Amino acid sequence: MVMLPNWVVIGLELLTTLFIFAMGLVTLIAVILFFIDIFQTKDAVRRNYPVIGRFRGLFSILGEFFRQYFFAMDREEMPFNRAEREWIGRASKGEGNTIAFGSTKNLSPPGTAIFVNCPFPTLEEDAVKMMAVEIGPYCKKPYKAPSFFNVSGMSYGALSAPAVRALSHGAKMAGCWMNTGEGGLSPHHLEGGADIVFQIGTAKYGVRDAHGNLSDEKLKEVASHDQVKMFELKMSQGAKPGKGGILPAVKVTKEIASIRGIPEGESSLSPNRHPEINNATEMLDMIAHIREVTGKPTGLKAVIGCFKWIEELCEDIHQRGIEHAPDFITIDSGDGGTGAAPMPLMDNVGLTIGESLPLVSDILTKHGLKDRIRIIASGKLVTPSELAWALATGADFVCSARGFMFALGCIQSLKCNKNTCPTGITTHNPRLQRGLDPEDKAVKVANYCKNMIHEVEIISHSCGVKRPRLMKRKHMRIVQDNGKSVPMDELFPYPETLLRERVA
């Protein structure tokens, strides 16, 4: 018989003791939970199946993490599937985006856009580099926007400081603009030197007086920054049209309060619309005032539902003179995203960009305003095919928020509103923010933007045009219920009487 050393025997006895203690503790906890579940009345499953019923909630929580790795197919997930996320991941890393064997994309569902390749595609030596497009020709300081793909509105506060810094530096590297979102202009937005679009939300954060009204003094202060190129009056956003919000007191830090112009440590209410704007005429008045005070291009952002007001807007513009038109309209999709919004609004209210973009483009064309008012498309446009579709349909520019979030490292954990974002993008927890290196992520932001533009150019060259903005609806076919496709310019014909060549 082998004699074990004393230290081994003592170690085994200690482990045995610890195991018995642990089992006893687990048993005690299970008994306590058993009686808690038996006598509580809020959860029927736990009441009928004490202790075991608790695993249902645990599995429901864990399910949203495991589905994207083990169970969902490449094209199944919502709001963004694995194929889309992986394409953005490769693009942001500067890796090759070629695939083998065949596409996993199903081209038969109704509504699918298929680009019409030309038998004699554009040769590389005939292709033309992306050209800047002027916005605000009647302003004191028009803006020649260099990129047709840009960073959409994301507020500092909704995003962490490292995330905003990374976007600022990345946008500068890529030569695109970034939108501040409605949370005001922070030092983090300015840090990288990128062009800035300042968004004015219903609470007027960053440009408000003590009573929450628009302050000309604050407007001039923001406009004094050379980086701030345009102002965007936010009427509504796709994820929550007609809904304002409350910034909880716990999030109103000294820095946030200073940037937004609100009292520190007090909850702040965003109205569900601009109280002083009741119709299209008053909206034009507001846009004209902001443009006059700042001297810079000014437009509006809205999700489209009712669209009669756009017709009224165009008629009012012609009465005032074309110089009084908004310099741009940002169309947000009814399936847009945000950090937090009521599910009924997010799921059911507002037209998708697939319907609203051609609608608005055609109204502006009909009224002869398409060349005067630039169209910016926004809402779930994160891949080259989606961006190319928007440009061919009528957009002059495309903005993306969640695409650039994926470039920052977002894993779609759906925790944006809980301050527990595991990638440090939408949290103000210093420990979680530590995982986001702004220098590294800035390069990925720039790579994503540059590769997106490059691959949109690949699509346009295949269609036989020299640059993406020359694509039109005739370059696409849309799949119908019977499985066959029809030309998009037959489904959405341009108003013939006022059709003119789009700016390229």
Q: Are residues 227 and 322 in the same domain?
A: yes
Q: pLDDT: is 77 or 391 the higher one?
A: 391
Q: Please write the tens of the pLDDT for every residue from 373-385.
A: 999 999 889 899 9
Alpha carbon 231 to its chain centroid, in Å, reads 18
Please state, in angstroms and as integers, the Cα–Cα distance from residue 435 to each residue in 173, 338, 402, 438, following that order: 22, 22, 19, 10
Give a yes or no: residue 79 inside a domain.
no
Q: For residue 205, what pLDDT is reported? A: 93
Q: Are residues 294 and 432 in the same domain?
A: yes
CATH number at residue 394: 3.20.20.70
Q: Are residues 128 and 67 in the same domain?
A: no
Q: pLDDT: is 142 or 26 the higher one?
A: 142
CB atoms inside a 10 Å sphere around CB 218: 18
Give a yes or no: residue 296 inside a domain.
yes
Q: For residue 390, what pLDDT is reported? A: 95
Q: Are residues 437 and 329 in the same domain?
A: yes
Q: For residue 358, what pLDDT is reported? A: 93
Q: Are residues 249 and 313 in the same domain?
A: yes
User: Rounded distance, CA 159 to CA 425, Å?
Assistant: 6
Range of the domain at 41: 6-71
Q: How many domains does the chain have?
A: 2
Q: Are residues 412 and 489 in the same domain?
A: yes
Q: Which residue has the tokens 């005070």?
A: 293
Please give the average per-residue pLDDT across 269-285, as a whole number. 89
Give a yes or no: residue 118 inside a domain.
no
Give a yes or no: residue 108 inside a domain.
no
Q: Please write the tens of the pLDDT for every residue from 226-270.
A: 999 999 999 987 555 656 666 667 677 788 888 988 888 887 778
User: Rounded distance, CA 241 to CA 238, Å?
Assistant: 6
Give a yes or no: residue 149 inside a domain.
yes
Please give the average per-residue pLDDT across 29-42, as a whole number. 86
> Burial of 181 by CB count in 10 Å (0-12 exposed, 13-18 middle, 19+ buried)?
buried
User: Rounded distance, CA 67 to CA 76, Å?
Assistant: 10
Q: Are residues 303 and 451 in the same domain?
A: yes
Q: Are residues 49 and 145 in the same domain?
A: no
Q: Are residues 13 and 162 in the same domain?
A: no
**Is the pLDDT confidence value at 343 over 90?**
no
Q: Are residues 332 and 416 in the same domain?
A: yes
Nearest in space to 154 (alpha carbons), one of 375, 340, 338 = 338
Query: What are the DSSP calls for 471-486, one per residue?
Result: --GGGEEEE-TTS-EE
Give a yes or no: residue 321 inside a domain.
yes
Q: Are residues 270 and 335 in the same domain?
A: yes
Residue that terminates a domain, selected from 53, 71, 89: 71
Please give the average per-residue pLDDT across 120-126, as a whole number. 84
Q: pLDDT: is 173 or 72 the higher one?
A: 173
Q: For residue 322, what pLDDT is reported? A: 93
Alpha helices in 246-350 (DSSP H): 254-260, 280-294, 308-320, 343-348
> Burial of 306 by CB count in 10 Å (0-12 exposed, 13-18 middle, 19+ buried)?
exposed
Give a yes or no: residue 100 inside a domain.
no
Q: For residue 389, what pLDDT is reported? A: 94
Residues 6+ apart with CB under 8 A from 225: 185, 190, 196
Averaged confidence pLDDT in the chain? 85
Alpha carbon 64 to its chain centroid, in Å, reads 21
pTM, rounded to two decimals:
0.83
Give a yes or no: residue 393 inside a domain.
yes
70 pLDDT tier (thresholds 50, 70, 90)? low
Q: Are residues 318 and 437 in the same domain?
A: yes
Most confident of 53-62, 130-139, 422-431: 130-139
Q: For residue 503, what pLDDT is reported? A: 47
